[in-house]
Amino acid sequence: MALKRMFNNSVIQSDEFTDLSNDAKLAYFYFGMYADDCGFVDNSKTIFYILGIAKEYDQVITELIETEFIIPIDDKKLLLIRHWNANNYISRYRAKSRYMKQKLEGICLDDGGVYNQDNDGEPAVNYFTKTADNKVSTLSDKKKRELYGI
């Protein structure tokens, strides 16, 4: 997993982001720092405890979902940062996530690299499992277990 993270000005200087509460902005930045290489956050409650805003968890998560900055997965236990690929560049051939294969089903990437739950764009799971010559990778079972946690 990468140790450096970035935030794109087109995301954090937008009116939508500016209108967020300070707790939601802070949570978004921390989610960006703790996310895996595909943008998944699986410890959101821990992050809220670290920030000292655990009491506002439901309110802030709802705000980030309604403003479409995060996508809830598995009843909000797992979160996906929608603008992850706009904020960070991690080569899709090197990206590692234990949720990649199972949880990216039904998620698409639009032309700007933003995750969407509609079927508009390339399926995200295909994007991350293609090889350099744009063919779907045929990984060994051992390699799949290492990469995807299955």
User: Mean pLDDT over residues 47-64, rounded?
Assistant: 95
The per-residue pLDDT for 87 is 84
In angstroms, the CA 45 to CA 27 distance is 10
Tens-place pLDDT, residues 30-54? 999 998 888 889 999 999 999 999 9
Task: Select the more confidently predicted residue: 5 or 68.
Answer: 68
User: Mean pLDDT over residues 79-108, rounded?
Assistant: 77
Burial letters 117-134, b for 16+ CB under 10 A, else e: eeeebeebbebbbeeeee
The per-residue pLDDT for 2 is 57
Task: Select the more confidently predicted residue: 126 or 86.
Answer: 86
pLDDT-derived band at 136 (thresholds 50, 70, 90) equals very low
The per-residue pLDDT for 124 is 78
Instruction: Name the β-bridge partners of 116.
Output: 108
Do 41 and 81 contact (CB within 8 A), yes or no? yes
Do 1 and 37 contact (CB within 8 A), yes or no? yes
Burial letters 6-36, b for 16+ CB under 10 A, else e: ebeeebbeeeebeebeebbbbbbebbbebbb
